[in-house]
């Protein structure tokens, strides 16, 4: 009789604990483990996948894959495009979706058919969606390199190398070729001066054919002045005011500076001495005298031209 109260007490405790344990097991069977996103960061309008690892209570669930819109649940902020229950190394629920709003997006309840008869339900699923207008929420990846035609890199680097080579050649040429170019420019200037003087002598010869004695004197004075101007430019010495005797020094200066080794100082001294005598002697200048002077100067210019050609 003493054992009956103890048996009744144990029976009451077992009856009260059994429903609690059953309710806890039933409630736990409908909860899932922590889901994760693929990719980890999803922006508004991008496609993503929510992977939900289901617990032991979902072992009785039947595998399926829904893509038809009428079989997919609807929500305001997210478009579900595919739902699949995968039973491989456990039971996983794969939800493909496209979010339309940033922040925490809640998924609708999802029913999963079960071989036990009553369908199971997964609820409380959420996903964090980033906004491209809020850079603090997620960092964007670097832009992809633009597509280029094969050989573009070689063309760019080759063009850059060619430009650098031209720049270095220009600098080297300006340093090395300054002296040589200066000498070439001086030779070209002297040859051009000889051609100008030769044309002047030809024109003067034509004008002296039918001129009067007074015209002959004017042409002779013009010839003397132009020839002095020519010598000043050709030798670099001011010959405009030199006396005939001072022309001896012109030949020495010209020979020392390598500006005209064919210019003979004695020849120029004798030439201008005869011209001064002819101009200021008071005698008349005949056409033959002017023609003889022109012939002599023509030979002198030709000899200078040959010397310049041989020197170049």
16-30, 152-166, 216-230: segment of lowest average pLDDT: 16-30
Q: For residue 241, what are the domain limits?
A: 180-311
What's the pLDDT band for 27 if we cut at 50, 70, 90? Answer: very low
Same domain, 109 and 185: no
In a domain, 22, yes or no: no
Same domain, 75 and 195: no
Q: Which of 110, 130, 150 is the last residue of a domain?
A: 130
Buried b (16+ CB within 10 A) or exposed e, 194-221: beebbebbeebeeebeeeeeeebbebbe
In a domain, 163, yes or no: no
Q: What is the pLDDT of residue 97?
A: 94
Q: Which of 130, 163, 191 is the last residue of a domain?
A: 130
Q: What is the pLDDT of residue 164?
A: 94
Share of the chain above pLDDT 70, in %: 73
What's the pLDDT band for 259 if we cut at 50, 70, 90? Answer: very low
Residue 223, pLDDT > 70, answer yes
Same domain, 120 and 208: no
This prediction has a pTM of: 0.40
Interval 34-47 mean pLDDT: 85
In a domain, 91, yes or no: yes
Q: Which of 115, 130, 145 is the last residue of a domain?
A: 130
Same domain, 192 and 283: yes
Same domain, 126 and 186: no
Q: What is the pLDDT of residue 257?
A: 38
In a domain, 145, yes or no: no
**Angle of the 287-311 helix axis to the 213-235 helix axis, nearest 10:** 20
Query: How is 80-133 classified by DSSP, letter by letter?
Result: EEEEEEEESSSEEEEEEEEE-SSEEEEPPPEEE-BTTSSPEEE---EEEEE-TT
Residue 138, pLDDT > 60, answer no
* pLDDT tens string 185-217: 888 888 888 889 889 888 888 887 776 777 778
In a domain, 155, yes or no: no
In a domain, 19, yes or no: no
Q: What is the pLDDT of residue 83?
A: 92
Same domain, 307 and 207: yes
* pLDDT tens string 50-104: 888 887 778 778 888 888 888 888 888 899 999 998 887 778 889 999 998 888 8
Domain count, the chain: 2
Higher per-residue confidence, 25 vs 146: 146
Same domain, 118 and 217: no
Q: What is the pLDDT of residue 150?
A: 62
In a domain, 161, yes or no: no
In a domain, 102, yes or no: yes
């Amino acid at each position: 009789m003493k054992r009956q109260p103890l048996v009744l007490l144990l029976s009451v405790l077992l009856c009260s604990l059994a429903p609690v344990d059953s309710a806890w097991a039933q409630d736990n069977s409908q909860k899932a483990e922590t889901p994760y996103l693929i990719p980890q960061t999803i922006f508004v309008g991008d496609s993503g996948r929510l992977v939900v690892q289901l617990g032991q209570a979902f072992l009785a669930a039947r595998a399926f894959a829904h893509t038809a819109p009428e079989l997919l649940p609807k929500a305001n902020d997210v478009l579900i495009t595919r739902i699949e229950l995968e039973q491989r190394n456990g039971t996983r629920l794969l939800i493909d979706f496209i979010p339309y709003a940033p922040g925490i997006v809640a998924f609708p309840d999802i029913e999963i058919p079960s071989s036990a008869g009553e369908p199971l339900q997964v609820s409380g699923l959420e996903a964090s969606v980033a906004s491209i207008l809020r850079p603090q929420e997620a960092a964007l990846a670097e832009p992809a390199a633009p597509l280029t035609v094969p050989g573009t890199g070689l063309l760019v680097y080759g063009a850059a190398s060619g430009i650098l080579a031209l720049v270095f050649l220009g600098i080297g040429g300006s340093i090395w070729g300054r002296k040589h170019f200066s000498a070439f420019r001086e030779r070209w200037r002297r040859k051009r001066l000889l051609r100008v003087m030769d044309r002047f002598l030809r024109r003067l010869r034509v004008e002296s054919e039918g001129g009067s004695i007074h015209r002959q004197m004017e042409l002779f004075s013009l010839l003397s002045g132009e020839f002095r101007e020519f010598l000043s430019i050709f030798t670099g010495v001011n010959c405009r005011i030199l006396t005939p005797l001072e022309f001896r020094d012109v030949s020495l200066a010209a020979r020392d500076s390598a500006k005209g080794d064919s210019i003979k100082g004695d020849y120029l001294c004798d030439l201008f001495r005869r011209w001064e005598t002819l101009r200021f002697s008071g005698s008349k200048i005949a056409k033959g005298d002017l023609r003889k002077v022109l012939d002599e100067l023509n030979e002198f210019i030709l000899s200078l031209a040959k010397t310049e050609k041989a020197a170049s």
